[in-house]
């Protein structure tokens, strides 16, 4: 079994403020460790379920957050950003048997996490994919659906876990926290790590075929920017259409082109 793990930080157990996910701030160190331990736990669960190969993408901010020495020897890790349009799923392809997402979070425009956003908290008000307000999970989970890769397990805030269940009811989830305004109510960190390890193994021993999403035949992406100048810039992309001074639309049958548009316009 070959498993891909993508890890973000805003949905890691205990996170409640932007300073805790910013490597320039002193509060970051303890949550860098927690992120590393949660990813390591997912790897350990995958190995217990029979995984022979594990590829981890560090998908937060600089892409250099996870402490590699915390990972088991069977895991390889992608650090930094290559510029590939698959972004948080760089190098994923049809040879993978399952996808797991760790530390994911609520979308822009929603509650449930003080750090809710989609792709860029500074630039994007919201992203809409095929008439659905999109999280980073939806954007990247659709890549997996293109390759018929099951989304086996997701950990993160309660809102993203609820979203997963609406899209993929058989995907196993673990809610690390629930946001209330500018606060979060979180599990005890060691307990959360234990649950991630157990549920990761459980998910890969389940009926993975039931965790494969349907792949749409066409895609319509709308991005609403914080500033009109960013929308005007994005409207220069070939095929893009400006809808309002702050909104741009892009449509294509190939989802790779949708992700390529996001790469250059977010």
* Domains of the chain, residue spans: 2-123+135-211, 219-265
Contacts of 8 (CB under 8 A, 6+ apart): 59, 60, 88, 101, 102, 103, 104, 105, 136, 156
What's the mean per-residue pLDDT of the chain? 98
CB atoms within 10 A of CB 61: 15
The pLDDT confidence band at residue 25, using thresholds 50, 70 and 90, is very high
Q: What is the pLDDT of residues 142-151, one digit of tens each?
A: 999 999 999 9
Mean pLDDT of 217-222: 98
Q: What is the pLDDT of residues 199-212, one digit of tens each?
A: 999 999 999 999 99
Mean pLDDT of 37-54: 98
Confidence (pLDDT) at 2:
98
User: b vs e for 12-26, b when ≥16 Cβ sit within 10 Å of the residue's Cβ?
Assistant: bbbbbeeebbeeeee
In CATH terms, is domain 2-123+135-211 a member of 3.40.1030.10?
no
Strands 124-129 and 219-225, by their bridges, are antiparallel
Report the percent of the chain where pLDDT is more than 90: 100
């Amino acid at each position: 079994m070959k498993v891909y793990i993508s890890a973000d930080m805003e949905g890691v157990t205990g996170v409640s403020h932007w300073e805790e996910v910013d490597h320039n701030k002193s509060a970051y160190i303890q949550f860098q460790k927690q992120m590393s331990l949660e990813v390591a736990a997912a790897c350990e669960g995958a190995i217990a379920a029979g995984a022979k190969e594990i590829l981890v993408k560090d998908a937060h901010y600089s892409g250099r957050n996870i402490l590699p020495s915390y990972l088991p020897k069977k895991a390889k890790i992608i650090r930094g950003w290559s510029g590939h349009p698959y972004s948080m799923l760089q190098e994923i392809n049809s040879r993978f048997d399952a996808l797991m997402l760790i530390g994911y979070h609520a979308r822009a425009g929603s509650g449930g996490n003080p750090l809710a956003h989609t792709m860029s908290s500074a630039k994007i008000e919201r992203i809409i994919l095929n008439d659905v307000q999109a999280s980073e999970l939806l954007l990247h989970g659709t890549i997996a659906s293109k390759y018929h890769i099951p989304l086996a397990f997701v950990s993160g805030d309660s809102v993203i876990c609820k979203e997963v269940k609406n899209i993929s009811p058989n995907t196993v989830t673990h809610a690390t926290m629930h946001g209330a305004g500018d606060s979060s109510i979180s599990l005890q960190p060691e307990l959360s790590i234990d649950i991630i390890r157990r549920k990761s193994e459980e998910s890969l021993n389940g009926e993975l075929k039931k965790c494969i999403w349907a792949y749409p035949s066409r895609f319509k992406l709308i991005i609403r920017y914080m500033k009109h100048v960013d929308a005007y810039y994005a409207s220069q992309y070939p095929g893009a259409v400006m809808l309002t001074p702050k909104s741009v639309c892009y449509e294509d049958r190939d989802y790779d082109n949708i992700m390529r548009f996001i790469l250059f316009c977010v």
